[in-house]
Amino acid sequence: MMSLRRMKYFSVLAGQLHFGRAAEELGITQSALSQQIKALERELGVGLIVSRGARGAELTKAGLVLLEGAEQILAMHDSLSDRIHEAARGNGGTLNLSYSLSGASLGQRDLVDEFRRRHPDVRITTDSGCTAANLGLLRSGEVDVVFARETSRAPDIESLLLAEEELVVVLPRGHHLTGAVRLAPEALHREPVAMWPRKLAPELHDRIVEQVWGGSTPVVIQEDPDYENLCLSVASGIALAVMDRRVAQRYASNGTVIRRFTAPVPTTKIAIAWRSAEREPVVRRFIALARENRTRLTERGSAPLGEAAS
C-alpha cells in the first residue's frame, strides 16, 4: 500500500519537475527524495519519472495517472485531518439531540438555533419524544443531549434546568369555573380531568399532580398522548386539563378558556440532560451554551390569557 508520505513527495516533485527544487520545498536532501521515489516505483512496479538531468524531470503516463489520484487522496486526507482536529476542539463533528414533544412552545429550538449560529461546522441531527423516550435514547447512546420536562435524579444522567413554566387550567367554554379570574388548586379536585399517560413522563406527571391535587387523586376520565389532543378533549366539553401556559396558548381552541392559578402558582420545568460520563467537546460546548442562555427561555413574551384564540 502506498504511503501518504511518498505520495506527498511524488506530488511535490510532479509540481516542480525538478529533484533539487522539490527536495528544497520538502526540507529533505535530493538523494533522500530520489530514494523515496524509487521505493514508490518499486511498490507499484512501474516507472513514474523520466529523469532528464539538469533540464528536470518528466512524468510517465503512469505517473500522470498517479498524480491525479494522489492529489485527490492528499486533499481528502487534509480535509479529514482538519475535521478531526475541529471535532476534538468541539468546533466540528456531530451533535445528536432529541427535542421534547412539548418543548417547541417553551423555547428549546431557540437554544439549538443559537448553537447552529455559533458552530456552523457542527452537524446537528434531531429527533423528538416524550421525556421517558428521550432518556431511553440518551442511555442507549443514540443521542448526545435531550430536552426533558424535569431534571434528572439518576446517577448516570446529568441535567441542567433551563426554565420554569407556569401551569394553567384549560376549561371548556361555559364551564362553571370560568367565572373566576384565578383558580385555587382545590377547585379542581372533584372536576373531571383529561391528562396524558403517566408513563410518557412520570416525574412531570407526578409534579403536576402533587402541586395541583396534593394528597388527592385527580378524577382522570380521559387520557390523550399529546397536548393538542388534550385541548381537543377539553373543547368537546368532557373535562378540563392542566398544562404549561405557553403550550395552552398554542394548542387551545375557540372552544376553551384559559385560567391561571392563585399563588403559589404551580410550575413545570424544561431541562436538558446528558450522560454523566460524556466528554465529547461538541456536547460540552452545547451544555456551556445552555448554561449561558438558560434564562432566555423564561424571558419569551406570552400572549394575554383569557379565551384562547383559534
Q: What is the mean pLDDT of residues 247-257?
A: 91
pLDDT in tens, 14-33: 888 888 889 999 899 999 99
Report the C-alpha gap between 40 and 97 in whole angstroms.
46
Nearest to 221 by CA among 200, 211, 208, 236: 236
Fold of 163-268: D-Maltodextrin-Binding Protein; domain 2 (3.40.190)
Q: Provide the residue ranges of all domains of the chain, joining segments of one domain with +.
A: 4-88, 94-161+276-298, 163-268
Report the C-alpha gap between 102 and 90 in whole angstroms.
29
Whether the pTM exceeds 0.85: the reply is: no
Q: Tell me which CATH code domain 94-161+276-298 carries.
A: 3.40.190.10
Report the C-alpha gap between 280 and 287 in whole angstroms.
11
123-129 and 94-100: which strand pairing? parallel
Instruction: Using DSSP, state whether 145 is helix, strand or coil.
Output: strand
Whether 307 shows a pLDDT value over 50: the answer reads: no
Instruction: Using DSSP, state whether 285 is helix, strand or coil.
Output: helix
Cell of 25: 520545498
Residue with cell 432566555: 296
94-161+276-298 has the same fold as 4-88 = no
**Residues ≥6 apart with Cβ < 8 Å to 91:** 119, 121, 122
Report the C-alpha gap between 195 and 172 in whole angstroms.
15
CATH 1.10.10.10 for domain 4-88: yes
The per-residue pLDDT of the chain, averaged, comes to: 87
- Report whether the peptide linkage leading into residue 192 is cis, meaning its omega lies within 30 degrees of zero: no
Identity (one letter) of the amino acid at 151?
A: T
pLDDT in tens, 122-177: 899 999 999 999 999 999 999 999 999 888 888 999 999 998 899 999 999 999 99
